[in-house]
Amino acid sequence: MGYDAKLRVWRGDDEGGELKDFTVEVNEGEVVLDVIHRLQATQAPDLAVRWNCKAGKCGSCSAEVNGRPRLMCMTRMNTFTEQETVTVTPLRTFPVVRDLVTDVSFNYEKALEMPAFQPPAELKPGEYRMAQVDVERSQEFRKCIECFLCQNTCHVVRDHDENKPAFSGPRMFIRAAELDMHPLDAAENRKEFAQESQGLGMCNITKCCTEVCPEGIHITDNAIIPMKERVVDRKYDPLVWLGSKIFKRAGA
């Protein structure tokens, strides 16, 4: 059974904007993105919204629904009561382009700063062989759809724009962990890069990135904390440093 939902959507651009109220029909089984599309089709044809797959796999329709960072296509309308006003706003952390669309270039530039996979010198393409147990940790991080909800919810940049030059954010930390745990990556300085250039030490592991990840990646427990521990190995633990020198286990 359909009903008329009360919708409040942020309309505006970088000059300013406000929340506007709408009443939009909702049918059984629909998600927030369906309702936004109906609003666009029937009442606000100039409403800007970014979307693509409607299946939670492209990471395009990131927004904030009732203040919580969500993919609009994966937020079912039946999680709200029929009387409830559903508020949809753009991601707060990034500059707004228009309405629900923000400029997420910050994330792409941080990705460009990240040193790429460094193949081992002794192997040619086609000779790479890896055991499953050695790649499964990195594979978890490859599930990332780059919706940037983790980047958006991270208070280090959400509440402090001034930290953006020094902080790459959780999405880039899982990339750092993915490569540092990669069995064939030959780069030796990923821990130092994470600490000194990506701002790993600024993370205070309050786990909001993990909470909002639509792919269920254990960003904090499996990437950020292990990377912090690896940094401790190099910078704050003389015993591990000494052990690695004596036993030559750097590549273990």
Partner 1 sequence: MSAPAAVRDIARRRATIAGRTLRTDRWWLQPLITVVGLVAWVLYAVIRTATQKYYWVPQYHYLTPFASPCISASCIPEASHLGQWLPAFPPLVPFAIITLPFLLGFRLTCYYYRKAYYRSFWLSPPACAVSEPHKKYSGETRFPLIFQNVHRYFFYAAGIIALLNTYDSIVAFHGKTGGFGFGLGNVILLANVVLLWAYTASCHSCRSLVGGRLKHFSKHPVRYWMWRQVSKLNEKHIWHWRGRRWARSR
Range 35-54, binding partner 1 (CB under 8 A): none
- Closest to partner 1 by CB, 34 vs 64, is 64
Residues in the chain: 252
Alpha-carbon span 173 to 25, nearest angstrom: 41
By CB under 8 A, tell whether 16 contacts partner 1: yes
Q: Which of 37, 38, 50, 158 binds partner 1 (CB under 8 A)?
A: 158
| Minimal distance, residue 207 CB to partner 1, in Å | 5
Do 10 and 64 meet the contact criterion of CB atoms below 8 Å apart? no
The owner of tokens 């950020």 is 224
By CB under 8 A, tell whether 192 contacts partner 1: no
By CB under 8 A, tell whether 178 contacts partner 1: no
Of 198, 220, 199, the residue nearest 211 (C-alpha) = 220
Would the CA dihedral through 248, 116, 149, 204 be positive or negative? positive
Using CA atoms, how far residue 227 sits from 43, 53, 173, 191, 214, in Å, is 49, 33, 8, 7, 22
Do 61 and 73 meet the contact criterion of CB atoms below 8 Å apart? yes
Of 97, 124, 32, the residue nearest 71 (C-alpha) = 32
By CB under 8 A, tell whether 103 contacts partner 1: yes
Q: Which of 134, 142, 189, 242 binds partner 1 (CB under 8 A)?
A: 134
By CB under 8 A, tell whether 170 contacts partner 1: no
Q: Which of 40, 118, 163, 197 binds partner 1 (CB under 8 A)?
A: 163
- Closest to partner 1 by CB, 42 vs 188, is 188
Binding segment toward partner 1, per CB under 8 A, in 21-29, 33-41, 100-108, 116-124: 100-108
Q: Which of 204, 216, 246, 247 binds partner 1 (CB under 8 A)?
A: 204
By CB under 8 A, tell whether 120 contacts partner 1: no
The owner of tokens 């286990």 is 249
By CB under 8 A, tell whether 214 contacts partner 1: no
**What element of type H or E holds 6?**
strand 3-13
Binding segment toward partner 1, per CB under 8 A, in 27-35, 38-46, 53-61, 82-90: 82-90
- Closest to partner 1 by CB, 55 vs 238, is 238
Q: At what angle do helices 238-247 and 225-235 cross, to 10 degrees?
A: 70
By CB under 8 A, tell whether 171 contacts partner 1: no
Alpha-carbon span 104 to 101, nearest angstrom: 9
Q: Which of 7, 24, 212, 223 binds partner 1 (CB under 8 A)?
A: 212
